[in-house]
A and B are shown apart, each in its own frame.
Chain A
Amino acid sequence: MRAYHAALAAAFLILGGCAASSRDLVVLLPDKDGKVGTVLVQNPKGNAVLNTAYAASRSTPEGGVRRETVSKNEVNDVFGSALAAQPPRPMSFVIYFESGTDDFTEQSKQEVKRMLAEMARRQAPDITVIGHTDLVGSDRSNDTLSLQRAERVKSVLVTMGVPAERISTAGRGRREPLVKTGDGVPEARNRRVEINVR
């Protein structure tokens, strides 16, 4: 934390003389699931940590910040247009293969249908196909394997009519298991491909 503030202070030195004074308002919102994150606001003469819903910091003419809490009404007055222009939230769909084959499981075929319906609901949709492995083997071999799985799913989606230029692929390897297991444990639920619709 201290190192972080030092880094921010250093960044200010770099901004240096060109830092004009502007009047700023920063507001922290609750997430969609009700949780609240953290934003650190640093001004030339003061800083604020925002970590509660509707916590706000307003810059003062002296170059400092004033902590306050703003109402939903004020948020809507100032930020209504920006909030109304938020893109739709990305959605994830999870695909499994029949063991030892390139065929999707029955359930996964339905999941692909739901994914295509979600794409149809969106404007200019794009997707990332992300391969995941279980915790058997090294990072390197699983990175390769997970990307290969993602590429296979991409080629299937292309044959189903999804334009190739709307699809990107990624191999996340063993970094994001769905089910936590010990190292070296085979786990079918972790050998999956996630389709992220944006």
Chain B
Amino acid sequence: MLALRSCAISALLFAVASVIPFAAQANDIAQFKVAKGSVYVERDGQRLAARVGTPLQPTDAVVTGADGSAGITFIDNSLLSLGPNSVLAIERYAFNTTTHEGAFDAMLRRGTLSVVSGKIAKQSPDAMKVKTPSSILGVRGTEFLVQTRD
């Protein structure tokens, strides 16, 4: 009976998870803490509306519209925020919560970005890179801004 019940609960949880594309996953690396106007996540070729609480996964891209802005907190306490008409691709993210070793590569394809670096950059000064289509930024810390235009 107990097994049956927990099976039913699992089935229910699964059903809920499949209708909410952004249910919490083990590989979540960040969360939207601010989402104003149109903000989207591009994942596996799909574009999904983002709101406060939406998690991010490695290799997601964040897109803001003309009226959009977004603030994202990563699990290593890196804080990234985007102004309007921006596209930010997370190219690589890894963080070891015990040793604080990790790797963080992000690409600002378009728009404006504010960065407050977190535990990854603090532990290893070469572990965080922010790129644009024509520049590479080595991040030794801590707070900086990037704009890129075509």
Residues of A within 8 A of B (CB): 4, 7-8, 11-12, 15, 19-32, 35, 37-44, 50, 59, 63, 65, 75, 78-90, 122-124, 126, 128, 130, 143, 165, 168, 170-173, 175, 196, 198
Contacts and interface: CB of A to CB of B under 8 A. Distances in A.
Nearest to A146: B98
Given A78-B147, A196-B77, A39 B138 contact: yes
Contacts of B147: 24-26, 78-79
* Interface of A, helix, strand, loop or mixed by DSSP: mixed
A87 B135 contact: no
B68 to A, nearest CB: 9
B90 interface: no
Q: Number of contact residues on B: which range applies?
A: 35 or more
Contacts of A42: 135-138
Nearest to B143: A29
A20 B148 CA distance: 11
B138 A24 contact: no
Contact of B75 (A4, A21, A29, A128): A128
20 contacts: A19-B133, A19-B134, A23-B149, A25-B147, A26-B147, A38-B140, A39-B144, A40-B140, A43-B135, A79-B147, A81-B84, A82-B81, A82-B83, A85-B82, A86-B34, A86-B71, A89-B79, A123-B52, A171-B97, A198-B33
Contacts of A25: 145-147
Question: In the complex, which of the residues B126, B144, B150 has the most CB atoms of chain A within 10 Å of its own CB atom?
Answer: B144
A86 B86 CA distance: 15
Nearest to A163: B24
B82 A82 contact: yes
Contacts of A75: 145
B135 to A, nearest CB: 5
B52 A86 contact: no
B40 to A, nearest CB: 15
B53 A81 contact: no
Question: In the complex, which of the residues B116, B138, B147 has the most CB atoms of chain A within 10 Å of its own CB atom?
Answer: B138
B33 A123 contact: yes
A32 B79 CA distance: 13
A86 B134 contact: no
Given A81-B69, A124-B31, A40 B134 contact: no
Question: In the complex, which of the residues B52, B112, B139 has the most CB atoms of chain A within 10 Å of its own CB atom?
Answer: B112
Nearest to B39: A85
Contact of B137 (A39, A63, A123): A39
A197 B134 CA distance: 36
Nearest to A173: B98
B132 interface: yes
B134 A24 contact: yes
A196 to B, nearest CB: 7
A63 B133 CA distance: 12
B73 A87 contact: yes
B89 interface: no
A86 B34 CA distance: 7
Contact of A37 (B126, B144, B149): B144
Given A23-B149, A50-B144, A175 B99 contact: yes
A63 B32 CA distance: 34
B115 to A, nearest CB: 9
A79 B134 contact: no
